[in-house]
A and B are shown apart, each in its own frame.
Chain A
Amino acid sequence: DIQMTQSPSSLSASVGDRVTITCRASQNINKYLNWYQQKPGKAPKLLIYAASTLQSGVPSRFSGRRSGTEFTLTINSLQPEDFATYYCQQSYSTPDTFGRGTKLEIK
């Protein structure tokens, strides 16, 4: 199985900050990396698929990038509604493993 190592596990930031979350795959997954946002008591929401393609309706302050087996999610100019938990997921090879999540909290 492909392991997804996500970091950091938690992050404190302020409104207006820029933050970056990283996911590293244990082997090549090409571009098959997805990012989700989850708020308490809610289902996850797809933000980015194929490493860097923004899902319809997602604000442009969210962006994704790939460098080999390392993937990053960047949020520019944090808004109050962005404080949530973020997960990466590889869909290159079953099982489609998730990272352990990054909880983004208000500083």
Chain B
Amino acid sequence: QVQLVQSGGAVVQPGGSLRLSCAASGFTFSNSALHWVRQAPVKGLEWLAVISYDGSHQYSADSVKGRFTISRDNSKNTLFLQMNSLRPEDTAVYYCARDHGNYIFRNGLDVWGQGTTVTVSS
């Protein structure tokens, strides 16, 4: 069964750090470009970052650049999002997702994790 299973969401204080994980199964993880997307409460989808199949290329949205880092461990079939200097406006459900295409020719996100909630509050 093709799936992404997320973990790591929590309540964290402003300025704190958190690492989200996304474990893949049922497909060849090391061939896939992967993304992070978030959704603030009662808001739309916000694209955050993408990483190439081998981790050699990444791109992050300006809203998180310099604070969040996307990475992967192909030996463990796991994607990560390291989140530092967290702000209240980072409160959201975070999703990992697989690209239907590849890093260069991206063709939609066809497999999604279940989402994990991050709350930034004192």
Judging by beta carbons under 8 Å apart, are A100 and B115 in contact?
A: no
A13-21, A65-73, A75-83, A91-99: which lies at the interface: A91-99
Q: Which residues of A contact B114 (CB under 8 A)?
A: 43
Query: For residues 46 through 93 of chain B, which have their beta carbon under 8 Å from a beta carbon of chain A?
Result: 46-47, 50, 59, 61-62
Judging by beta carbons under 8 Å apart, are A44 and B112 in contact?
A: yes
Does A46 make an interface contact (CB < 8 A)?
yes
The 8 Å CB contact of B100, one of A49, A87, A94, A96, is: A49
Judging by beta carbons under 8 Å apart, are A44 and B109 in contact?
A: yes
Judging by beta carbons under 8 Å apart, are A55 and B61 in contact?
A: no
Q: Which residues of B contact A50 (CB under 8 A)?
A: 107-108
Does B113 make an interface contact (CB < 8 A)?
yes
Does B29 make an interface contact (CB < 8 A)?
no
Query: For residues 92 through 120 of chain B, which have their beta carbon under 8 Å from a beta carbon of chain A?
Result: 95, 97, 99-101, 106-110, 112-115
Closest to A49 in B: B108
Chain A binding surface SS class: loop
The 8 Å CB contact of B107, one of A1, A34, A95, A100, is: A34
Judging by beta carbons under 8 Å apart, are A95 and B61 in contact?
A: yes
Does A52 make an interface contact (CB < 8 A)?
no
Given A89-B47, A98-B44, A101-B44; A55-B62 close (CB under 8 Å): no
Judging by beta carbons under 8 Å apart, are B47 and A97 in contact?
A: yes
Given A43-B113, A95-B59; A101-B45 close (CB under 8 Å): yes
Binding site for B on A (CB under 8 A): 1, 32, 34, 36, 38, 43-46, 48-50, 55, 87, 89, 91, 94-101
